[in-house]
């Protein structure tokens, strides 16, 4: 994997790129980075060009003050694709990245050949209490102390996360890594801005449910861990019913990070989906037709 940087709108955007072939864009979750895909990129890069950016406010990318809405993230991904002369591809989004992927497909359908949602946000209200707590008014004052304590008291943090229902393995490792990354003040502010735009004490406040019918012509794969403790697997089943012709893969034994829990199985599912579906053709009039027609009775996909 090659790590590169590009300056867009005066801000540094870090990304990983590997392989040659049809494009796969991998978008990570909140407080994460492109490193979350390390175990699947080599397999995917055998037959595809793989682009895995650090979203603004995350990883090695800049963390400016500004807009951290789903729309802004989607704009940034579009600009990165344009700057790298990568016109369109299969967009894969995990957790927050799933919400960004859906927003990108909505705003820039000409960029999206296929859509893959991995334990995605934006498909229902329910959310783990740990993330809901980040929306509390005093979270910005508590997080600095917690992040420093997390770096120096790993055992205590792991024990605390375990008591919140996160299993040993990828869920604990990725959550702890994300947690400690927030020790950097700029990353913490970007995290809080993102959270407050998407989450309140009741759970997820931004939902794509009323617009999923617009993906009817877009080949869509939904992948979820059967034991996801952060976003309930029920969201996967409900989205599958709403997106006509979508494919659903529930991975037994996996949690919120199925690409980390079962990387080989995840890569096989993703590659099979890409190889057995045709990319959505570019049609500037499609969105207009769909908007005028409105939601239609759902057609459940053939694989569940």
Task: Name the phi and psi angles at 116, rounded to 5.
Answer: -125, 120
- CA–CA separation, 28 and 249 (whole Å): 19
- CB environment 105-121: b (16+ within 10 A), e (fewer): bbebbebbbbbbbbbbb
- CA–CA separation, 137 and 58 (whole Å): 22
Q: Residue 16 in contact with residue 52, Cβ under 8 Å?
A: yes
Length of the chain: 304
- CA–CA separation, 96 and 103 (whole Å): 11
Which positions are catalytic?
95, 228, 256
First CA to last CA distance, the chain: 33
Q: Residue 239 in contact with residue 117, Cβ under 8 Å?
A: yes
Residue with tokens 């939601």: 295
State the Cα angle at 205 between 196 and 76, rounded to 5°. 60
Q: What's the order of all strands across the beta sheet hosting 23-27?
A: 2-8, 11-18, 49-53, 23-27, 89-94, 112-118, 220-225, 247-251
Residue of 232, 230, 224 lying closest to 252 (CA atoms): 224
Q: Residue 88 in contact with residue 113, Cβ under 8 Å?
A: yes
């Amino acid at each position: 994997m090659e790590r590169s940087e590009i300056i867009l709108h005066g801000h540094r955007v870090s990304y990983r790129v590997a392989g040659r072939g049809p494009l796969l864009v991998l978008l990570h979750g909140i407080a994460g980075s492109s490193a979350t895909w390390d175990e699947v990129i080599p397999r995917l890069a055998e037959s595809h060009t793989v682009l895995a950016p650090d979203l603004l406010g995350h990883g090695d990318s800049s963390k400016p003050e500004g807009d951290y809405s789903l729309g802004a993230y989607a704009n940034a991904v579009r600009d990165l694709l344009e700057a790298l002369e990568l016109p369109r591809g299969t967009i894969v989004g995990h957790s927050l990245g799933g919400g960004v992927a859906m927003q990108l497909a909505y705003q820039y359908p000409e960029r999206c050949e296929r859509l893959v949602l991995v334990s995605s946000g934006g498909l229902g209200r329910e959310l783990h209490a740990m993330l809901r707590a980040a929306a509390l008014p005093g979270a910005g004052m508590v997080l600095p102390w917690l992040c420093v304590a997390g770096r120096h008291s790993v055992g205590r943090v792991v024990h605390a996360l375990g008591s919140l229902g996160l299993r040993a393995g990828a869920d604990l490792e990725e959550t702890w890594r994300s947690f400690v990354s927030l020790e950097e003040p700029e990353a913490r502010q970007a995290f809080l801005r993102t959270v407050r735009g998407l989450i309140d004490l009741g759970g997820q406040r931004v939902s794509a449910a009323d617009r999923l019918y617009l993906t009817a012509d877009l080949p869509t794969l939904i992948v979820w861990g059967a034991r996801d403790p952060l976003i309930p697997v029920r969201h996967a089943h409900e989205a599958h019913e709403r997106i006509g012709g979508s494919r659903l893969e529930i991975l037994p034994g996996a949690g919120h990070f199925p690409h980390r829990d079962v990387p080989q199985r995840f890569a096989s599912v993703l590659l099979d989906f890409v190889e057995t579906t045709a990319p959505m053709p570019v049609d500037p009039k499609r969105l207009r037709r769909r908007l005028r027609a409105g939601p239609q009775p759902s057609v459940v996909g053939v694989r569940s």
